[in-house]
């Protein structure tokens, strides 16, 4: 093999590797992103250390729905949250919560229970009772906002503390758990 052929072969491998890396980075930045669960707010549905796949494109054509488990961008320092060519870095201020109320819903908390639009929710996933905190109830979820709660109601910083979350803070829908291997599967 001549030096020219070796150089040509190496150049084509470098180009292929470069395009593969760029494609992977674009997919991570705009389509899917792995996230790590950190904290007890979604126990027993999700546990600290579990790894999830978040679809960032879930809400391009539709709106978040009641029951969706979503990753919320809570970092207020927008400049610090982006890494060039990769997208945003995961912040310890990201939250994973369940959407309970969508725009127009009336949410009330009575006797530890969640009442949405006058009906008591049957929340088999919830751990503990749901009591108000800093927000007054009943409340109507404003346009462009969502009422979110952690499944572990006794240990969750959620809309009871920071009010309804703006839609632009919803980074994506958590749809698949890929680690640890004994709990791999679709998230419900």
The answer to whether residue 79 is catalytic is no
3-state secondary structure of 119: strand
- What DSSP line would sit under 52-109, residue for residue? EEEETTTTSSS---TT-EEEE---S-GGGGEETTTEEPP-TT-EEEEEEE-TT-EEEE
CA 77, 78, 83, 84 torsion: positive or negative? negative
Region of 76 (left: φ > 0; alpha: ψ -120 to 50; beta: rest) is: alpha
97: annotated active-site residue = yes
Element (H, E) at 17: helix 3-30
- The catalytically annotated residue of 41, 58, 156, 159 is 41
Q: Which of 56, 97, 127, 173 is the catalytic position?
A: 97
Cite the active site residues.
41, 97
């Amino acid at each position: 093999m001549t030096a020219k052929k070796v150089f040509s072969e190496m150049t084509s491998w470098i180009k292929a590797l470069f395009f593969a890396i760029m494609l992977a980075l674009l997919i991570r930045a705009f389509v899917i992103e792995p996230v790590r669960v950190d904290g007890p707010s979604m126990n027993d549905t999700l546990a600290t250390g579990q790894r999830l796949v978040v679809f960032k494109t879930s809400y391009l054509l539709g709106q978040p729905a009641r029951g969706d488990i979503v990753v919320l961008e809570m970092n207020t320092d927008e400049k610090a949250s982006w890494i060039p060519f990769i997208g945003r870095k995961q912040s310890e201020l990201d939250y994973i919560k369940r959407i309970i109320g969508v725009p127009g819903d009336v949410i009330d908390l009575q006797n530890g229970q969640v009442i949405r639009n006058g009906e008591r929710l049957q929340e088999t996933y919830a751990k503990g009772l749901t009591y108000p905190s800093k927000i007054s109830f009943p409340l109507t979820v404003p346009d462009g906002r969502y009422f979110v709660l952690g499944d572990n109601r006794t240990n969750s910083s959620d809309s009871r503390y920071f009010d309804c979350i703006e839609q632009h803070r919803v980074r994506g829908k958590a749809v698949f758990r890929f680690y640890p291997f004994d709990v791999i599967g679709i998230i419900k």
